[in-house]
């Protein structure tokens, strides 16, 4: 019932379905997860693993929560992690990427989305024709809607610092906690140490008296 899930499926099928059709890849199973429920997702994937005798080489998950469910199902069955996609660049998703539980996540920059939405809103207020601003048309399940589509970013181990960290969407401080700290790059840990030191110095500096 979630049109976003339908659009996501249409997108990845446009790339991987030809590989199934040509028999280069084999589709083991394809199921929707009710209400994006991570617990249900884990159960579904565990059933897939059992039916396939544990022989699943990769999984396409529509967000980081579902990706974590896949990784947990593999872990519970004593199987090695496999390439798994995700989306939303959540803290948990980034942690799983660093630790090898997840391969990548789809990141959609909030600033870019906000800028595009603001430009459209201003145009509407001014009575400007927005049809020329649309970059595509998307069917929302009921009708075709002129839309401004932005380019998402694939985030993996190699570009975390240059994407979600650089944009301020995530911080090393919220990612590199607990057991996940060991997977963070050395420069991230140094940056966190420097920030913590600066914070302590600021707290220790007495306020100037007038």
Measured between alpha carbons, how far is 119 from 160 in angstroms, rounded to an integer? Answer: 28
Domain match, 143 and 62 both: no
User: Number of folded domains in the chain?
Assistant: 2
- Residue 11 sits in a domain whose CATH number is 3.40.50.2300
Domain match, 28 and 123 both: no
Domain match, 162 and 64 both: yes
Domain match, 61 and 160 both: yes
In this predicted model, what pLDDT tens digit does every residue of 50-74 receive, in sequence order? 999 999 999 999 999 999 999 999 9
Domain match, 67 and 158 both: yes
Domain match, 77 and 163 both: yes
Residue 41 confidence (pLDDT) above 60: yes
Measured between alpha carbons, how far is 171 from 174 in angstroms, rounded to an integer? Answer: 6
Domain match, 13 and 24 both: yes
Domain match, 27 and 101 both: yes
Q: Does residue 72 fall inside a structural domain?
A: yes
Q: List 153's β-bridge partners, or say none.
A: 107
Q: Does residue 67 fall inside a structural domain?
A: yes
In this predicted model, what pLDDT tens digit does every residue of 151-195 receive, in sequence order? 999 999 999 999 999 999 999 999 999 999 999 998 887 777 666
Domain match, 100 and 129 both: no
Residue 105 confidence (pLDDT) above 70: yes
Residue 2 confidence (pLDDT) above 80: no
Domain match, 122 and 156 both: no
Q: What is the pTM of this model?
A: 0.86
Domain match, 159 and 56 both: yes
The candidate with the shortest Cα–Cα distance to 111, out of 172, 169, 154, 153, is 169
Domain carrying residue 135? 110-147
Q: What is the DSSP string of 134-163?
A: --EEEE-SSSEEEE-PPPPEEE-TTTTIII
Q: Identify the DSSP state of 184.
A: S
Domain match, 61 and 117 both: no
């Amino acid at each position: 019932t979630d049109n976003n899930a339908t659009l996501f499926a249409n997108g990845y099928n446009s790339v991987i379905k030809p590989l199934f059709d040509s028999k280069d890849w084999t589709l083991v199973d394809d199921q929707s997860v009710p209400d994006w429920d991570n617990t249900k997702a884990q159960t579904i994937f565990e059933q897939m693993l059992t039916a396939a005798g544990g022989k699943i080489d990769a999984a396409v998950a529509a967000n980081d929560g579902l990706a974590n469910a896949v990784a947990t199902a593999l872990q519970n069955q004593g199987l090695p992690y496999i390439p798994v996609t995700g989306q939303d660049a959540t803290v948990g998703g980034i942690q799983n990427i660093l630790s090898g539980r997840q391969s990548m996540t789809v990141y959609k920059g909030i600033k870019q989305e906000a800028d595009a939405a603001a430009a459209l809103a201003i145009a509407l207020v001014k009575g400007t024709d927005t049809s020329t601003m649309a970059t595509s048309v998307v069917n929302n399940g009921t009708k075709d809607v002129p839309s401004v589509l932005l380019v998402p970013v694939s985030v993996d181990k190699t570009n975390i610092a240059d994407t979600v960290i650089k944009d301020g969407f995530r911080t090393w401080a919220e990612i590199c906690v607990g057991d996940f700290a060991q997977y963070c790059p050395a420069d991230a840990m140094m940056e966190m140490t420097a920030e913590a030191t600066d914070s302590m110095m600021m707290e220790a500096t007495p306020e100037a008296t007038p």
